[in-house]
Chain A
Amino acid sequence: MKKQTKLLIALILLILAAYFTYNYMYQDHRDIKTEEAKITVSASELTAYFTDNKSEEILNNTVQVSGVITEIDSKSLTLDDSVLCSFDAEVQGVNLNDKITIKGRCIGYDDLFEIAKLDQSTIIK
């Protein structure tokens, strides 16, 4: 009986360990869509974070950016010529010069075009 109890405890521990290991290894991706934005700014204010060397405050964080659409691509929009917001699916129902607010994950600053970039964007309004 005692031996059986020990075995049972060992088995339960093993299952628990496997469960937690599995959950750790295959944890879910962040869901940018439901994350709350760390900052809410205009497109030019966002690029200023990089030119003012404050990038660590927003890099890899969810941000909400407002601006006027200056370029439309199939899966991305550019706001005020300074922030490129990319989407996981095609963007529909937007027009050039629309004023728009977008939430996304800030992935960094592109020196080639002097723009900040967001991915996993969603349109807020």
Chain B
Amino acid sequence: MKKIIIALLCIFSGFNSMNAQDKFITKTGVINFEASVPSFEEVNAKNENVSAILKSTGEFASLALMKGFRFKVALMEEHFNENYAETSKFPKTTFRGNIEDFDLSQLGENEKTYTVKGVITMHGVDKSIEVPASIKMVEDTVYLSTTFVLKPGDFDIEIPSVVSSKIAEKINVSANFMLKSKS
């Protein structure tokens, strides 16, 4: 009997914490990446349909559909999809992680810098990363933005030598999320 009560208590307390756990979501976050080399054609792509979920515990997950990256030059987009990122074989890139020392009640209209730790999965390869992120909260919306550097080589993405002089080895990524409260 005692065990049952304890079990029930556990279940209810579980429900309670789930109710209290606010979620902030977006389906239209923006990720930009830039791999330009000076004096060559600009290598720049943007995806405006990136999903992300932030839980009040600081847990953060994001998903970008690779076909959603759009380039200024159509041929570049084709090469990115077919030769480099192989987006038909690896249609999505995900991030799962935690924002360190995150406390929802501490968020305000002034931006604060946090550290986000987690794993990026791209092109079938998992890689741990640790990046700084600026976070602020205005009314019920959390704004999260971050910039960091990724190397194609870390994700087994090969850039053929013919074009490697025109694509930077270090790719600057910036992400902006406007996460709306959803309980």
Q: Which residue from A25, A59, A84, A117 sits with its C-beta under 8 Å from B73? A: A25
The segment from B59-67, B124-132, B134-142, B154-162 that touches chain A is B59-67
B49 interface hit (Cβ, 8 Å): yes
Q: Which residue from A56, A78, A108 sits with its C-beta under 8 Å from B66? A: A108
Q: Which residue from A25, A59, A109, A113 sits with its C-beta under 8 Å from B88? A: A59
Size bracket, chain B contacts: 20 to 34
A73 interface hit (Cβ, 8 Å): yes
In the assembly, what is the distance between CA of A112 and CA of B61, in Å? 8
CB <8 Å contact, B75 and A25 = yes
CB <8 Å contact, B49 and A86 = yes
B122 interface hit (Cβ, 8 Å): no
Given A107-B68, A112-B61: A28 and B88 interface contact (C-beta under 8 Å): no
Listed residue (A25, A108, A111) with the most chain B CB atoms within 10 angstroms of its CB? A108
Given A108-B65, A108-B91: A29 and B49 interface contact (C-beta under 8 Å): no
The dominant DSSP class at the A interface is mixed
Q: Which residue from B62, B65, B74 sits with its C-beta under 8 Å from A117? A: B65
Q: Which residues of B contact A117 (CB under 8 A)?
A: 27, 49, 65, 68
Q: Which residues of B contact A24 (CB under 8 A)?
A: 75
Q: Which residues of B contact A56 (CB under 8 A)?
A: 88
B81 interface hit (Cβ, 8 Å): yes
In the assembly, what is the distance between CA of A110 and CA of B65, in Å? 7
Q: Which residues of A contact B91 (CB under 8 A)?
A: 55, 59, 108-109
CB <8 Å contact, A75 and B74 = no
Given A27-B75, A86-B49, A113-B51: A108 and B92 interface contact (C-beta under 8 Å): yes
CB distance from A82 to the nearest CB of B (A): 12
Q: Which residues of A contact B49 (CB under 8 A)?
A: 76, 84, 86, 107, 117, 119
Q: Which residues of A contact B25 (CB under 8 A)?
A: 113
Size bracket, chain A contacts: 20 to 34
CB <8 Å contact, B81 and A29 = no
Q: Nearest CB to that of B26 among chain A residues?
A: A73
CB distance from A1 to the nearest CB of B (A): 40
Given A56-B88, A108-B91, A115-B27: A30 and B74 interface contact (C-beta under 8 Å): yes
Q: A: which residues have CB within 8 A of B?
A: 24-30, 55-56, 59-60, 73, 75-76, 78, 84, 86, 105, 107-113, 115, 117, 119
Q: 12 A-B contacts, Cβ less than 8 Å apart?
A: A55-B91, A59-B67, A59-B88, A60-B81, A76-B28, A84-B27, A84-B28, A86-B48, A107-B65, A107-B68, A108-B91, A112-B53
Q: B: which residues have CB within 8 A of A?
A: 25, 27-28, 48-49, 51-53, 61-63, 65-68, 70, 73-75, 77, 81, 88, 91-92
Q: Sort A-B residue pairs by CB-CB distance and give the 8 closest, nearest first.
A: A108-B65, A107-B67, A107-B68, A29-B74, A107-B65, A108-B91, A112-B51, A112-B63
